[in-house]
Amino acid sequence: MKIYFELNGKPQYVEVEPGESLLSLLRRLGMKSVKEGCGTGECGACTVLIEGKPVRSCITFAPKVQGKRVTTLEGLGTLDDPHPLQKAFVEAGAVQCGFCTPGMILTAYALLEQNPDPTPYEVREQLVGNLCRCTGYRKIVDAVLLAAEWKKEGKWR
């Protein structure tokens, strides 16, 4: 079956299997920032934004995004031109193996869109379903708070 959706601002008209996961579809389309961790929606490595809201792509049926707007990390920034949130993760030392980072950044991005001035508790509350086995979380929270500062200063897009 074919579905239509918008991926990182670009229209897509693609063939999918009815039982295919959105994770699988996005990786087929080259979005390698979308990781499969647990495969059961618990770890957050596969997080993407649908209509600006973080969801788990590993437990989302691909046809469910018909007509919707999907954002992956590739839609936020590139190696040459990283998004301020990506720069904040580097600046704060919030990346070690990096497997959880795309999901962390997209979840944090959705938080800062809704709440530009979060408390450390609100950051933790938002990221509670994104697991990181390396960093111990403190630097990830620091990175999001740093990004929030930059956003207030207008260093954002």
Partner 1 sequence: MRAGAPRSSCLTGWPRGILGKKGGTVRLRGVRRYHWARDVDEALSLLSAYQGKGALLAGGVDLARSPRTDIEGLIDINGLGLSYIRSENGGLRVGATTILAEILGHPVAFEYAGGVLGETLRQVAYPAIRNMATLGGAVVSAHPWADIPTLLVALGASVRWQGEKEKEERAELVDLYAGEFRKIFRKAVLLEVVLPPCDGAFAFEKIGRNAWDIALLNVCAGLGLREGRISWARVAVGARPARGERLLWLEEALIGERLEEALWRKVEEEVKARIEVEDDRRASGEWRRQVAGVLVRRALTRAAGKAGA
Site for partner 1 contains 107 (CB under 8 A): yes
Query: In this structure, what token pair is assigned to residue 142?
Result: 């620091």
Largest CA distance in the chain: 46
137 interacts with partner 1 by CB under 8 A: no
Q: Please choose, out of 48-56, 71-79, 81-89, 136-144, the segment that lies near partner 1 by the rule CB under 8 A.
A: 48-56
41 binds partner 1 (CB under 8 A): yes
What is the phi/psi pair of residue 76, to 5°? Answer: -95, -45
Q: Which of 84, 72, 144 is nearest to 115 (CA)?
A: 144
Could you give the angle at which helices 84-91 and 138-152 cross, rounded to 10 degrees? 140
Rounded least distance, CB 91 to partner 1, Å: 24
Binding site for partner 1 (CB under 8 A): 1, 17-21, 23-24, 36, 39-42, 44, 47, 50, 53-56, 58-61, 63-64, 66, 107, 110, 125-126, 128-129
